[in-house]
Structure 1
Amino acid sequence: MKNLLQSTLLACLAAGFLPATAQDDSALLKKARKIHEKAFTLDTHADTPMLLSRGGFDITQDNDPYRTNSKVDYPRMRKGGLDAIFFAVYLGQGPRTEEGHATAKKKAFGIFDAVHSSLKATTGEAELATTPEDAYRIGKTGKRAIFIGVENGYPMGHDLSILKKFYDLGARYMTLCHSSNNDICDSSTDPKGAEYQGLSPLGEQVVAEMNRLGMIIDLSHVSDSTFYDVIRLSRVPVVATHSGARAICNHPRNLTDDMLKALARNGGVIQLNLLSDYVKTIPASPERTAALDALMKKYGLKSRMGMASLPEEEQKKARAEFMELNKAYPVQLATVKDAVDHIDHIVKVIGIDHVGMGADFDGGGALADCFDVSQYEAFTVEFVRRGYSKKDIEKIWSGNFFRVMKAVEKGATPEQIGR
């Protein structure tokens, strides 16, 4: 359905009331809408399972993002023209002990259960996908295609066989770590710094096993040294499911130009994160920073993502307080234009074949003019505005990532996966 702006512009154009610039805008919007409707669109990272596993969230309803603090549901996916999305089984980093790993593993399987239960309860709306072919088939029915990824290898502990269990439950990628080092590798943001100078010996085994299974290795969140270790060892392409260009926003979560070039040589792809702090360097608000520091101190956390590791009742309280904090001290957000600056830079450095979209919605991703998944068409409009062709846009929206998926699938034989 055309929005009010488009309808008004087109009506005025037909009546001959618009100046040349407005006529140009109307033609651009019409072209962008046509491309967006025909392209198969994919987002490779959303933390929506955190909402599903907590209960009380109806993914079949058009939820208000400001009231519910949610960015993804099926009605809003349809509004934004998003065909497919990866739901992340996310675990914050906890104690690296036998007990800690056991607890994390139990929680991870609980999140898988929540995703599968939700899909079973909404068969008319969405369906699990594990291959590009699945996604295309599901898309033709009008349903949303739901992929699964695992964010943070922490819950596997030291047991490589858990990776096969994740794979069997539908996971097609795993992010090796999160905001802190784990037993697999160094993180890009651990305040203690490097522990292994890249991958640990266990991490090297994880790379080999994921290659064997046909599970994509996700390098978002890892340190630069870990990135290069994986590039050296992986025999199939790898990805960064929700990252950006460090040359545009100097954050350790983003990739340098040298890393981008190494990723391209590997055949991989970087999917653009829409968390504003990674999109644009935004001046800090002293009031918000102080309030957030106080909240983190109150619950003994190092970052907001650590809320997921709190006991259930404390977690509810902390999240409620965080929502109130956001109302009192709203964060300044980057824009779609700021985000597409990253796409432009990546394309300039390594070409159109190595970039896509991975917003990190429900995990912090949000822009001023793409606050949730319902506004995703704004990106296609900006791509058209900047001269990207229909073929280019189709590559960004899913073609590049699906190419990697197929390459990783071919790297593992059915016999190997069944072992």
Structure 2
Amino acid sequence: MKVKHTQPLLMLLALMLVISVSARNDREPELNRKAARIHARALTIDSHNDTPMWFTDTSYNFAEDHRGKRPRNRVDIPGMEAGGLDGAFFAVFVGQGDRDEKGNARAFEQAVQTFGAIERNLKLHRDKISAARFAGDARRIEKEKKRAIYIGLENGYPLGNDPGNVELFYGLGARYITLCHTRNNDICDSSTDSTEHNGISEFGETVVAEMNRLGMMVDVSHISDKAFYDAIRLSKTPVIASHSCARALCDNPRNLDDAMLRALAENGGVIQMCILSNYVKTPDPNPRRDSAQAALRLKYNGFRDLTEEEMNKARKEWYAIDDIYPQKLATVSDVADHIDHIVKTAGIRHVGIGTDFDGGGGVEGCADASELGNITLELVKRGYSARQIRLIWSKNLLRVMRETEKYARKSAYHGGVKTT
């Protein structure tokens, strides 16, 4: 008797499953259309990519579509247009080197050269891209049907020991400084190095104050936990994490734990969700890949002090490793899991997107700028409203930028200096 009753029940359950799958499939075109509308109308800004590292290759053309080519570049003008990316912060990145007079001078020179390379590309492609310096520039440039290019200095190392260089780099267009990178510098301790300053150094305090005075956002990505809390305490304006994830979902020191997320929210700041796979999801062991990358770092001196020819060769060999020893990547769904967690922990007004494209960023389903709409689609599928998605894509970041600018204007006024 049990068998006779079980058969119709199983058939009913199978029929219900078919109906459920069919209903989901019927909804997909509607969700795709809805996500496309939201993405097109939102002002979309990526707070961190390392594309300027490609500008040191004189054969590189930012107006060329690099999808499917090797070595792979993940952000270019066609990709930004295809992915509906209205603006991006281009990182002037300088890897940490020797902290002596010679090392500091070399870092300063490298940074200035990268600023110059960005400026050359802005002029070369002025019909498609435009320099952005203030929060209001992004919308204006979007209305001109161009892409807004902001600049951030990744690693305060090029400042050397001279706080006056903060103003120099501000004058060149930098609107945030990532205080350090993967190793300690004279400003603060790194999240991936030993304790040296126990947070932010005395010199670092001067740097933060100078950034506040000028209107530069303080970027806490890469810095140690203690340095993070020091930055919150010292900065007179909200801080940003330009490319970081939630440590609760991926236990990496580069990510922010829940207490840090709550502190960031209380500070009024924003964490820009990074889509570099290793920070989204703990990677599966891949010893051959790790060994190959370690050997390449050793071969090219940690990619420091290289000529253009050497850097181009190193870049090709580095990306070749991806083809020889491919990594199992995190997915767009994993990225959205982080956004969900950050929203639950810190609130919807404290999360954004900072891909780290061309610096290692890229996940399955969002491998380059042309696929950024897939993040919006995943958020729509999870029930995020158009207003919430607009907050994530730019409004939260621009709010912090406006508050930073406002503080600088107020400081200048009280200092007796008239600003425009």
TM-score (norm 1): 0.92
Partner SS for 1:236: coil
2:51 corresponds to which of 48, 52, 57: 48
Rounded Cα–Cα distance in structure 1 between residues aligned with 2:203 and 2:252: 27
> Which residue does the alignment assign to 1:237?
238
Alpha-carbon deviations, 1:120-155, whole Å to 9, x = none?
111100100111211111101110010011000000
> Which residue does the alignment assign to 1:15?
none
**Shift of residue 418 of structure 1?**
7.4
1:32 pairs with 2:24? no
Q: Which moved more, 1:287-296 or 1:322-331?
A: 287-296
> Which residue does the alignment assign to 1:286?
287
1:400 pairs with 2:403? no
**Equivalent pairs, count:** 395
Partner SS for 1:69: coil
> Which residue does the alignment assign to 1:70?
73
Q: Which moved more, 1:211-220 or 1:408-417?
A: 408-417
Instruction: Please list, as runs of the form range in 1=range in 2, the aligned pairs for 1:125-140 lying within 5 A after superposition.
Output: 125-140=128-143
Alpha-carbon deviations, 1:287-328, whole Å to 9, x = none?
212222222233343xxxxx2543434323322221222211
Partner SS for 1:388: coil
> Which residue does the alignment assign to 2:300?
299
Q: Is contact 2:132–2:150 with CA below 8 Å preserved after alignment?
A: yes
**Residue type matched to 2:166 in 1?**
L
Q: Is contact 1:92–1:309 with CA below 8 Å preserved after alignment?
A: no
> Which residue does the alignment assign to 1:99?
102
**Residue type matched to 2:210 in 1?**
E
Rounded Cα–Cα distance in structure 1 between residues aligned with 2:321 and 2:396: 38
Alpha-carbon deviations, 1:33-65, whole Å to 9, x = none?
110110000000010111112321111111125
Q: Is contact 2:244–2:254 with CA below 8 Å preserved after alignment?
A: yes
Partner SS for 1:132: coil
| Structure 2 portions without partners, runs of 5+ | 1-20
Alpha-carbon deviations, 1:46-104, whole Å to 9, x = none?
10111112321111111125413200011110100110000010000011001111111
Rounded Cα–Cα distance in structure 2 between residues aligned with 1:241 and 1:100: 26
**Shift of residue 230 of structure 1?**
0.8
1:322 corresponds to which of 288, 310, 318: 318
Rounded Cα–Cα distance in structure 2 between residues aligned with 1:37 and 1:342: 23
> Which residue does the alignment assign to 1:277?
278
TM-score (norm 2): 0.91
Rounded Cα–Cα distance in structure 1 between residues aligned with 2:39 and 2:75: 18
> Which residue does the alignment assign to 1:189?
192
Rounded Cα–Cα distance in structure 2 between residues aligned with 1:309 and 1:225: 31
**Residue type matched to 1:49 in 2?**
P
| Structure 1 portions without partners, runs of 5+ | 1-17, 302-306
**Residue type matched to 2:95 in 1?**
G
Partner SS for 2:340: helix
Rounded Cα–Cα distance in structure 2 between residues aligned with 1:308 and 1:39: 39
Q: Is contact 2:174–2:216 with CA below 8 Å preserved after alignment?
A: yes
Partner SS for 2:176: strand
Rounded Cα–Cα distance in structure 1 between residues aligned with 2:120 and 2:309: 23
Q: Which moved more, 1:288-297 or 1:106-115?
A: 288-297
Rounded Cα–Cα distance in structure 1 between residues aligned with 2:320 and 2:81: 29
Q: Is contact 2:71–2:319 with CA below 8 Å preserved after alignment?
A: no
> Which residue does the alignment assign to 1:84?
87
Alpha-carbon deviations, 1:136-191, whole Å to 9, x = none?
1110111001001100000010111111111111111000000000000000012x
> Which residue does the alignment assign to 2:225?
224
Partner SS for 2:365: coil
Rounded Cα–Cα distance in structure 2 between residues aligned with 1:66 and 1:262: 42
Instruction: Please list, as runs of the form range in 1=range in 2, the aligned pairs for 1:374-385 lying within 5 A after superposition.
Output: 374-385=370-381
Q: Is contact 2:49–2:356 with CA below 8 Å preserved after alignment?
A: yes
Alignment RMSD, CA only? 1.5
Rounded Cα–Cα distance in structure 1 between residues aligned with 2:304 and 2:241: 22
Rounded Cα–Cα distance in structure 1 between residues aligned with 2:236 and 2:205: 12
2:116 corresponds to which of 98, 113, 118: 113
> Which residue does the alignment assign to 1:8?
none
Alpha-carbon deviations, 1:213-257, whole Å to 9, x = none?
110000000000100111111111000000000001000000000
Rounded Cα–Cα distance in structure 1 between residues aligned with 2:106 and 2:337: 41
Q: Is contact 1:231–1:266 with CA below 8 Å preserved after alignment?
A: yes
Instruction: Specify the structure having the higher radius of gyration (Cα).
Output: 2
> Which residue does the alignment assign to 2:216?
215
The percent identity for this pair of structures is 51
Rounded Cα–Cα distance in structure 1 between residues aligned with 2:264 and 2:185: 23
**Shift of residue 265 of structure 1?**
0.6
1:366 corresponds to which of 358, 362, 385: 362
Q: Which moved more, 1:66-75 or 1:387-396?
A: 66-75
